[in-house]
Copies of this chain bind each other. A is one copy, B any other.
C-alpha cells in the first residue's frame, strides 16, 4: 500500500507542500488543482493528482478554516437532544446541510439561559458558519448581545427581533384551531382543553378558543384547566375535569404527553374512547401510536423545521440572501386516529 507506506515513513500527516515537491510543482498549483479556482494545465493536473493519490494526501481542514474563515460547521443549540422533538429537528437540519458538507455541533442547554449564552460564545469562538437556536418559545434575547453580527442565526419556534435572525415557526395556532373545529364538526358539545402552564403555549390556547367561537361552542372557565406538559400533569387535569358535575364529552390537550395522561384517566374510569369522551393531543410523538386507541393529534413538524432552518442558513452562508430577517411558518396538520 502506498498510503500506509507514506504514512509510516513520516509521523504526521501529509501536507500540501510535500505533495507539491513530490509532483515537482509549487504548493499554489496543488491548491489550484484542488479548488479549481484557476486553470491548471492538463499534464500538471495529472502529475499532481497522482502525487496526491500516491501520498494519500488529505487537506488539513483546520488550516483551511483559518484562512478562509469558514468552518463548514453549524451549531444547533437545543434544550435536550434526548427529547425526541429536538432529536428529530436536529436530524432534519443535519440532513439538509450534510450534502453541502456542513457538520452539526450539538449543544444541550437544558433551557438554562447561562448555558445558552455559554454555547453561543463557544460556537462563535469556534467559528461556526451559523447557529440554529431552538430553545423553545421562551428564547430570551439576552445572548444575542454576545453575538457577532456576521454569523447568521435561525430561531425555531420563537420570533426574535435580531436584525439578521430568520425564524421558522410551526403554526401552532392554526393547528389547534383545526383540532377544535374537528371536534366541533364531529358533534361534540362540551369541549374542554388542558392547556400548558401559564404563559406557555398561548398560541395553542388561542387557536382552540377561536375554533370554539367559530363553532358557537361556549367554553366556561371550568373547562379550561392546566397541566405541566407531563403525563402525570395531564392525568391530574383530566381528573378534575371528570369530577365536574357535568362532564365534557371531548378534550383537547396542548401536548401528547398530557393527552396520554388524560387517556389513562378514561381507562381508569372505564370510559370508552372516543364514544364517551374524545381526546386530541398535540405534537404527534412516537408514543401517540403506542397507546390504545392510537391518539388523534396535531403534528408538530420537527423534521421539516430543522430542514428549513438548514435551508435558510445555507442561503445566508452562501451569500445568496442578505436581507432582513425572514419568517417561514410551517403548517401543523391534524392527524386523525382513534381517539376522536
Contact = CB atoms under 8 A, between A and B. Distances in A.
A81 B71 contact: no
A265 to B, nearest CB: 13
Contacts of A290: 231, 260, 287, 290-291
B82 A91 contact: yes
Contact of A126 (B62, B91, B104, B291): B62
A267 B290 CA distance: 13
A103 B107 contact: yes
Which range contains the number of A residues in contact with the other chain? 35 or more
A51 B122 CA distance: 21
Contacts of A82: 84, 87-88, 91
Interface stretch (A53-61, A179-187, A222-230): A53-61
A126 B287 contact: no
A121 interface: yes
A324 interface: no
A105 B104 contact: yes
Contacts of A84: 82, 84, 87
Contacts of A94: 81, 106, 108
A127 interface: yes
8 contacts: A13-B148, A58-B121, A62-B71, A80-B91, A90-B106, A103-B105, A103-B126, A291-B291
Given A81-B91, A287-B290, 17 more contacts: A58-B124, A58-B125, A60-B66, A61-B125, A62-B66, A63-B66, A81-B90, A82-B87, A82-B91, A87-B87, A90-B106, A94-B106, A105-B105, A286-B287, A287-B287, A290-B290, A290-B291
